[in-house]
């Protein structure tokens, strides 16, 4: 089953996680204490292995975007890629809880230049708790 669904073939970090802008991939060591949470997201289950999420780190905020595959699963009657994004969010938050990192979900669009983020749709942000 895992072979048929390509579950062993996950996108690399440079395609999923970004640092300050979408033209700057987030390096594993630059993720620091969040590295495990990002890896948990990278390995999260996804319908047909599409991994339609992208995360942009800006300061102490982590902005989650949906990168939809046009026409994917139209016959389902719902957007399964949003379910995938929710699963990724859950993995991110649960990993952070396990690491003792506190924060909260907020909807505060960071107003990134639309030309810069081609076909990405802002969804939600994780804000690191102030110490």
Look up the CATH architecture of domain 13-102.
3-Layer(aba) Sandwich (3.40)
Q: What is the pLDDT of residue 74?
A: 65
Q: What is the pLDDT of residue 15?
A: 94
Residues 6 or more apart whose CB falls under 8 angstroms from that of 114 comprise: none
Question: Distance of CA 100 to CAs 83, 94, 113, Å?
Answer: 26, 10, 33
Q: What is the pTM of this model?
A: 0.86
Residues 6 or more apart whose CB falls under 8 angstroms from that of 9 comprise: 49
List per-block mean pLDDT (blocks of 10 residues) for the chain, which spans 131 residues: 55 94 93 96 88 93 90 70 93 97 93 71 92 67
- The domain ranges of the chain are 13-102
Q: What is the pLDDT of residue 101?
A: 96
């Amino acid at each position: 089953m895992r072979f048929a669904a390509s579950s062993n073939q996950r996108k690399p970090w440079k395609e999923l996680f970004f640092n300050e802008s979408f033209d700057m991939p987030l390096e594993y060591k630059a993720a620091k204490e969040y590295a495990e949470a990002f890896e948990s997201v990278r390995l999260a289950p996804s319908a047909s292995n599409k991994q339609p999420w992208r995360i942009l780190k800006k300061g102490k905020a982590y902005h989650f975007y949906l990168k939809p595959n046009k026409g994917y699963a139209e016959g389902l009657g719902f957007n399964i890629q949003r379910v995938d994004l929710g699963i990724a969010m859950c993995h991110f938050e649960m990993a952070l809880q396990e690491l003792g990192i506190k924060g909260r979900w907020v909807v505060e669009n960071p107003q990134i230049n639309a030309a810069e983020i081609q076909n990405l749709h802002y969804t939600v942000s994780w804000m690191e708790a102030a110490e």
